[in-house]
Amino acid sequence: MDINIRKSYELWLESLHLDDETKSELCSINDNLKEIEDRFYQELEFGTAGLRGIIGAGTNRINKYTVRKATQGLADYISSKGEEAKARGVVIAYDCRRMSREFTQETALVLAANGIKTYLFCDLRATPQLSFAIRYLNCISGIVITASHNPPEYNGYKVYWEDGAQIATEQAEAIIKSISQVTDFCSVKTMEMKEAMERGLIIYLDEEIEDAYINEVKKQSLRADMVMEVADEFKVVFTPLHGTANIPVRRVLKEIGLKNVLVVPEQELPDSEFSTVKLPNPEDKEAFELAIKLAKKEDANLIIGTDPDCDRVGAVVKNRDGEYIVLTGNQTGALLVNYILEALKEKDLLPENSVIIKTIVTSEMGADIARSYGAEALNTLTGFKYIGEKIKQFEENGEKTFLFGYEESYGYLAGTYARDKDAVVASMLICEMAAYYHAKEMNLYDALLELYDKHGYYLEGLKSITLAGKEGLEKIREIMDYFRTNRLEEITDKKLLVLEDYKSQKRIYTDGSKITEKIELPKADVIKFILEGGSWIALRPSGTEPKLKIYAGVKSDSLEKSRKQLSAMIAYMEEKMREI
């Protein structure tokens, strides 16, 4: 074992600032060298949005000490902005995960000890509610304690800024620098809850903010009349997958007129173990097993499911054969783009400078649909923070009118009341859209097939390769370096036309028409291969999990042909990686 890893482990054991429970946990792994290495080979990285990791003792774990240290760094950064920033304060939300409430309290007490006012929700809340609350309360910053759709052993700490979006790259770098200057736990300030509340440094929020948020969500409704028309017969099965969405999603669906919303009883209440699913992730088809069972029993028209912090939503639709089809995030996104633009155009409310925003690994189908309505489609890096930055930019300069933003990983936002993906508004719009097509004697799968016939058979896939631990991290770097230095000429039978390396910010044309172009996006560890015929494939290390992700997209004149092409492309890339 590396001597520095052992030294770090022993420093924790000998620290006077660690509690007995933490030390006992560390003593229990004294003979497990691999476990010690995994817990101490690095510090849990504060990335471009915050922390995320396995709960436990150690530098490479999320625990009250790493949370306190991150918060002290954030507090120092806020304090550097002056007394006004400290007085504006920070609002904190948390989800149903293990230790979420405890980490929230630790965070609030560190902020309070630094003289920074802190607002707390009385109970768990959805991530988009946090995004909304920041601007509603005019806070300088916001934090949500969540690990989104990760397994139950994970938790996280996500930081937002005054615009309601996750912190920008420059802010993240400044906060990381500030955190790095917190060299030991004794330099972290904290105080007792009683003192913090007596001094007005910690304030609990009431229902006013909840009502304001729901009202903003309902303003995004486009065809409430259609919902009322079919409300008696249209049935929706909803699962919050044990998370925070149960109350806000059910409330907004009820208030727009849906009468038959059936909640999966086994998954209705918060559960930190997510005991009915392997993963609490609507991207995982298995997460819908109980919902599909209930839908079949009740003959429901639509199923929706949200992740634990309610920023992602998946949809399952019944086709004409009575089968329930799980839509991908790209398919749902394309349907929503078409639904929103079509409704606005019918009402003569579609602005001339309309824009939809998606990410570089999201299907081109939505962009194609947007352009057919005269709207512009823009790409950002993966991560909704980049979409949030664009919303702010357009709101300030008035150049474009933002209508809708989305990413393939089931994140959607309509409107500008929030600056992060919102499964509450997306759930409302998906249900309203399905009700609209139901009134036309169609289902969402019929609508999707119509879009395919009009725009082409776009199909996308994602393959995540788990490479855990120190060795896994090194392997991911090795694979990414290989594809940067070994130029592919084709993938399967598709000729490579363009190589986009977002780390070097270079777009390289292989057809000889141009040598290179600068990519006008921030640096990111992503490589994208654009192939002939509208196909593409991209490689990206996950920012939150020990995974290397392979994204791929194809376009052809039939669904079957697209399936075959997609499968072949992903298989090719997997085989190539095994050779490295």
Dihedral of CA 44/49/55/57: which sign? positive
Question: What whole-number distance in Å separates Cα of residue 121 and Cα of residue 135?
Answer: 15
Whether 504 sits among the annotated catalytic residues: the reply is no
* Residue 365 burial (C-beta neighbours within 10 Å; 0-12, 13-18, 19+): buried
Contact 456, 555 (CB under 8 A): yes
Contact 386, 405 (CB under 8 A): no
Q: Which is it for strands 235-239 and 260-263: parallel, antiparallel or unpaired? A: parallel
Strand partners, 144: 93, 158
Contact 326, 300 (CB under 8 A): no
248 contacts: CB under 8 Å, gap ≥ 6: 126, 129, 210, 213, 214, 217, 310, 424
Residue 320, SS3? coil
Structural Rg of the chain based on CA atoms: 24
Show the tokens assigned to 459.
């199909």
Residue 185, SS3? helix
Catalytic choice (148, 221, 363, 535): 148
Residue with tokens 């009250």: 64
Report the catalytic residues.
148
